Amino acid sequence: MIKTIISDLGNIIVYFNNDLFFQRIKKHSPYSVDDMKIMADQYIPLLQAFDTGRISPKDFYRKVTGILKAGIDQDTFFPIYNDVFSINTSALKTLISLKPGYRLIMLSNTDVERFSFIKKAFPEIRIFDEYVLSYEQGIMKPHPSIFLKALERSEAEAVECVFIDDIKENILAASELGIKTIHFLPYTNLEAELHNLGVILH
């Protein structure tokens, strides 16, 4: 019997498009959008450091603007960096319909700036009973430890939980702990997938 639903945030509840950031900051940088995309791939460790809270927003701003040679102050940088999201109303509606009967936990790789922005821009996402966030935990999916943190707050056994995520590596990590999973893709019928796992929608 399923008792708890654990859901990712990005590309489940909110879509994100980092191209919007590159397009906006291009006005302040000598690099093209394509150049910046290539550079972003090379600086994944920097993004991971921010997502795990190992560097401050100020240090992140300094490093990114240094890499991009962007002449922009911090108060201008973060609105450009943060505002890349749009709500997935269908998935959110489905999760809201589960609230009366199931414990809801958000499990997300995110940073303090973007998550703060999302909470303000989309207050309707504040439906969860618990939030397990990489920047607070100091660790990211797919590391098993962050899934164990979510299970600690689930008030259920692993087999009584369903985890929803768009990244296969994260799905596999959850499965290895005995958690039931839904790999969320653009064509996924979330209600049908949940129903197949015995989840009752209200």
**What pairs with residue 130 in β-bridges?**
105
Confidence of residue 42 (pLDDT cuts 50, 70, 90): confident
Provide mean pLDDT across the span 146-150. 98
In CATH, what number does 4-14+87-196 get? 3.40.50.1000
Q: CA-CA distance, 49 to 27, in Å (whole number)? A: 26
CA dihedral 45, 18, 85, 136 (to 10 degrees): 10
Residue 154 has pLDDT above 80, yes or no: yes
pLDDT score recorded for residue 41:
81
Confidence of residue 43 (pLDDT cuts 50, 70, 90): confident
Q: CA-CA distance, 60 to 71, in Å (whole number)? A: 15
pLDDT score recorded for residue 142:
98
Provide mean pLDDT across the span 52-69. 96
Residue 153 has pLDDT above 80, yes or no: yes
Q: In 3-state terms, what secondary structure has residue 86? A: strand
